[in-house]
C-alpha cells in the first residue's frame, strides 16, 4: 500500500496471549494441548500447501485468542538478515532471538535454537519436515510443561538437539499412546524417518481428541456385529451320531463275514440273506425324515455287489 509515495505494510492485531506466555503458568491439560496442537498443525499445513516453510515455529509466535482459536504468526525467513535483536536471553527461551544470516545458503544457521531441527542446526538445506520437528517441540512442551531439549548456552542446546533424546517420562500418563507415538515420529533426528505431513498429524490429533470425549465411540473401519450365542443344547444329529456309527460298524462286520471264504457248507449257509428295513426315529424332527430313508439305501448299495448274499 502506498501513502504519499511511500510503501507501507500493515498486519492485523491479534488479541490474546502467546502460547509461550500461557506455558509460563505450567503445562496444558491433555485435551487442551491436543486441541491447540491440532490448530497449529492445520495452520502450518495451510502454509505448506502454498509452498511456505515457517522455519521458526515456536510458542512465542503462536497466539491463543480469547475465542479459543490459535493463530500462527510471523511466517518465513525468506529474507535472512543479521539479527536485530540482542539481549542475554537463555538459549532455550522460547522468546530468544531468531538466528539469521544474510542469505539462504548452505551453512547458514537460522531459527530459535530450542526448536531447531538437527538439519537446521547443522546449517543444511531444510524443507517442511523442519516445521514438523518444531511442531513436535511445541507439542512436547504443551504436554510436559518443559522443553524437549535444553542447554545453558546456544552451543550446549544445539549439542542436545543433535545428540540427546527428550525425557519421554515427562509426558503425563494420560497422553494417548497414538499421540505419544506421533510425537516420537515428529522428533526423529533423521528427517527421512520423520513424519512429513502436518495435515495427517492434525487428523490424528482430532481422532485422539474425539476418542477422549465422554460417551464417544472410537471410529472403526468395519462394523462389529454381535454373533448369536450358540445353543448349549447339542443338535439332534450329534445326539444320534453314536447310534449311526454303531449301525455302520455292524454293517461293515456283516460285509466282512460274507466276503471271508467259508470253511464248510454249514457255515456258508448261515448268512444267505439279509433284510434292510427303513429306519424310524422317535423324534418328529422333519430334518431326520430323509435320513431314515438314506441309511437303508446306503446299506443296500454296499451289500448289493456281494455274490453270496
Residues classed as catalytic: 56
User: In the chain, which ranges are E strands?
Assistant: 2-3, 6-7, 17-18, 62-64, 70-72
What the block records as the C-alpha cell of 175 is: 497422553
- Reduce the DSSP state of residue 107 to 3 states and report it: coil
Three-class secondary structure of residue 103 per DSSP = coil
Per-residue burial over 129-161, b = 16 or more CB atoms within 10 Å of its CB, e = otherwise: bbbbbbbbbbbbbbbbbebbbbbeebeebbebb
Of 251, 264, 267, 263, nearest to 306 by C-alpha is: 251
Q: How many Å apart are CA 180 and CA 176, to the nearest integer? A: 6
Amino acid at each position: 500500500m502506498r501513502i504519499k509515495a511511500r510503501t507501507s505494510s500493515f498486519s492485523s492485531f491479534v488479541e490474546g496471549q502467546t502460547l509461550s506466555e500461557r506455558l509460563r503458568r505450567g503445562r496444558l491439560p491433555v485435551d487442551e494441548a491436543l486441541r491447540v496442537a491440532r490448530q497449529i498443525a492445520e495452520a502450518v499445513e495451510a502454509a505448506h500447501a502454498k509452498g511456505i516453510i515457517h522455519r521458526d515455529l515456536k510458542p512465542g509466535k503462536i497466539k491463543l485468542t480469547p475465542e479459543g482459536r490459535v493463530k500462527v504468526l510471523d511466517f518465513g525467513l525468506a529474507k535472512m538478515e543479521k539479527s536485530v535483536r540482542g539481549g542475554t536471553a537463555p538459549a532455550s527461551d522460547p522468546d530468544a532471538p531468531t538466528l539469521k544470516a544474510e542469505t539462504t545458503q548452505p551453512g547458514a544457521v537460522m531459527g530459535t535454537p530450542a526448536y531447531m531441527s538437527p538439519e537446521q542446526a547443522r546449517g543444511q538445506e531444510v524443507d517442511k519436515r523442519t516445521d514438523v520437528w518444531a511442531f513436535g517441540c511445541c507439542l512436547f512442551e504443551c504436554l510436559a510443561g518443559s522443553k524437549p531439549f535444553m542447554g545453558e548456552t546456544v552451543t550446549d542446546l544445539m549439542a542436545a538437539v543433535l545428540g540427546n533424546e527428550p525425557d519421554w517420562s515427562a509426558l503425563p500418563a494420560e497422553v494417548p499412546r497414538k499421540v505419544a507415538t506421533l510425537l516420537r515420529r515428529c522428533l526423529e533426528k533423521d528427517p527421512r524417518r520423520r513424519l512429513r505431513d502436518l495435515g495427517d498429524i492434525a487428523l490424528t490429533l482430532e481422532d485422539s481428541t474425539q476418542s477422549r470425549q465422554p460417551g464417544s465411540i472410537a471410529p472403526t473401519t468395519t462394523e462389529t456385529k454381535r454373533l448369536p450365542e450358540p445353543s448349549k443344547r447339542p443338535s439332534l444329529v450329534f445326539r444320534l451320531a453314536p447310534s449311526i456309527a454303531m449301525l455302520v460298524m455292524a454293517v461293515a462286520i456283516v460285509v466282512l463275514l460274507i466276503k471271508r471264504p467259508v470253511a464248510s457248507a454249514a457255515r456258508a449257509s448261515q448268512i444267505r440273506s439279509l433284510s434292510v428295513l427303513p429306519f424310524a426315529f422317535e423324534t418328529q424332527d422333519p430334518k431326520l425324515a430323509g435320513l431314515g430313508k438314506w441309511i437303508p439305501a446306503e446299506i443296500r448299495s454296499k451289500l448289493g455287489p456281494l455274490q453270496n448274499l
